[in-house]
Amino acid sequence: MFKTSQVRIVAFLFMLIPGFAMADVIEDVLARGTLRIGVAKFVPWTFETNSGELDGFDVEVGRKIAKDMNVNAEFKVYVFEEIFSALRKGDIDVIATGLAITPSRALRINFTIPYMESGVGIATNIELTKDIKSFLEMNRTGIVIATVRDTLASEFGKKFFDKAKVTMFASKNEAEAAVLEGRAHAYLASVPEVSFFSLQNKTAIDLPMKKPLLASKAGLGVKKGEQEWLNFLNSWITARDADRWLASTYSYWFGSLDWVKDVKQ
């Protein structure tokens, strides 16, 4: 017979095996009846509507995953840089926030296969940049670039704008305010974000580049070791890609402005 201590050691070792740890995640979600989805407010991925509810591309994705699992969707909103810690602590089951797949992030979390494409774009303060004739002139001393900390745009900004001053903010609202108030010359963020920022402030903000400065693909994020959960989400993405649900949903949120009237001002 095994001693109690030996049984505990064997059980602990089984818990370290990804397959066993992962099965518990799906079982927990099903038993709880709720899928906990971590999001950060970035229009049009996630935003608050005029009625006070959450909406956006990733909110719709999260609701669809939950519906297909026959559970409820519970959204937890975080400042972007805090969302990884929430996943690691088990406060959420998945990150859905247009998260660009990068090697450095893959050391911290596991990514699903891509469920959308995006890229890094730039929006500029018209008055501050009216005398700048070339995009390369943005990378020089005296130029201030605003971006959100720990995003793909911030990583790109540190490398590309090595001569300019890249200022990191905790949220997009703070970064955008810096550009609108003239404390920064430009805002570096995802293409949809800078496009919407310009649309909201046509007389003050311009889009000097029509194509992404850097193309990227985004995946959902799960905690390390949760292989069965990762397998399920990959299967979900494959199925919803095949039936064109992802394509049609992406087209609505990123190819039209029908939803803009619902964004809380």
6's CB contacts (< 8 A; 6+ apart) are none
pLDDT in tens, 19-78: 444 457 899 999 999 999 999 998 889 999 999 999 999 999 999 999 999 999 999 999
Domains of the chain and CATH, by start: 9-115+219-262 (3.40.190.10), 119-215 (3.40.190.10)
What is the structure's pLDDT at 203?
95
Rounded (5°) CA angle 29-105-25: 15
What is the structure's pLDDT at 24?
77
10's CB contacts (< 8 A; 6+ apart) are 2
Sites in the chain below the pLDDT cut of 70: 1-23
What is the structure's pLDDT at 123?
96
DSSP category for residue 2: -
